[in-house]
Amino acid sequence: MRSSGVFAAVLACLAAGCSSSAGLEDLVPRPSMETTSAIGPRPDVPVREVASTVSADAGFPVGAPQIEALAGSEPSGGGNTARPALDMLAAIPMAKPSAPPARRGVVHERRFRDAHPINFGKRSPKHLAVHGVDVSRWQGDIDWNKLRRQGANFVFIKATDGGDHLDPMFRENWRDAAQAGLKRGAYHFFYWCRTASSQADWFIRNVPKVPGALPPVLDVEWNHQSSCKRNPSRATVLEKMQVFMDRLERHYGQRPIIYTSPDFYADNLKGAFKDYPFWLRSTAEHPSKVYGDRDWVFWQYSGSGLSHGVTGRIDLNVFNGTESDWWRWLNRHSHGGSLIVADAD
């Protein structure tokens, strides 16, 4: 952004009485350059446009435009050119989502392979019943039916990061995963150079509130490849996370899940948020050896999974409990969880 544009924005902010928490930081756009896949971008996966018209069954407005900030770019002329597009999206009424069938479904046995298998000993994830995956644009086109038959019973789908970036595959992945019968949730990668409230609003704009959805996920970790070089204090980290999660919980009616990595957890989260569900990354040892006595619901145990239905590698995850525990957890925590009953396919 040109300095003249910044100066004009500062004057406008001062005249309007901007608050310290939502003033200059929001006026100066900082496009996010985060990549959230554990394996990062792959040159063999082409980035393509997703069709702008999607089924109302997915919970998106029919005909809504696909909006994605260009990573690393700034608007010309000193203005925020993304704002009119965001306002247009916010003004489109959301289509009424259709309720999923009230069926419990089938848990598919894990058949994944691993390019770099780890011996976790007696506490191996293979001894747990309900496995799943997480995906983003870097997995490209996915055959969800094949992926489910390989043991993907649930999926967390990259939706947003920062306050201006929407994963270009999110809408398609969100729709197709549900059609294949996976329990689906969306995650947001937190960007430490943006306010928590603006990031929560961006997530809410783009992730539908639909029956059967898993709780939203806040992904917090250090990313040293990011254009944002801030490593805020622990107190600031916890405050920002609380603001974000409170806003999502009010909107979706579900307590968000916290995803994190060992280094970020050691720096910020040890002993914090004891009443929140955790999804822990631990690809070399059991979570108990990395995170101590922290309770967890999901464990990301591999970033090098291999499966039919996906070209290349995919993150592998597991639910902490039995199959019966899984259905009880869904009834308590999925959106409209009471729809999930004890019928079988």
**Catalytic center residues:** 134, 221
339 touches 100 (CB < 8 A): yes
Q: Which residues contact 286 (CB under 8 A, 6 or more apart)?
A: 120, 121, 123
Q: Distance between CA atoms of 133 and 279, rounded to whole angstroms? A: 12
- The span from the CA of 190 to the CA of 218, in Å, is 7
Q: Is 260 helix (H, G, I), strand (E, B) or coil?
A: strand
Nearest C-alpha neighbor of 142 from the set 302, 306, 308:
308
Six-digit token string for 46: 């082409």
Among candidates 167, 267, 162, which has minimal Cα distance to 219?
A: 162
Beta bridge partners, 185, equal 156
CA distance 344 to 66: 37
The H-or-E segment that residue 202 falls in is helix 196-206
Alpha-carbon distance of 161 to 89, in angstroms, equals: 17
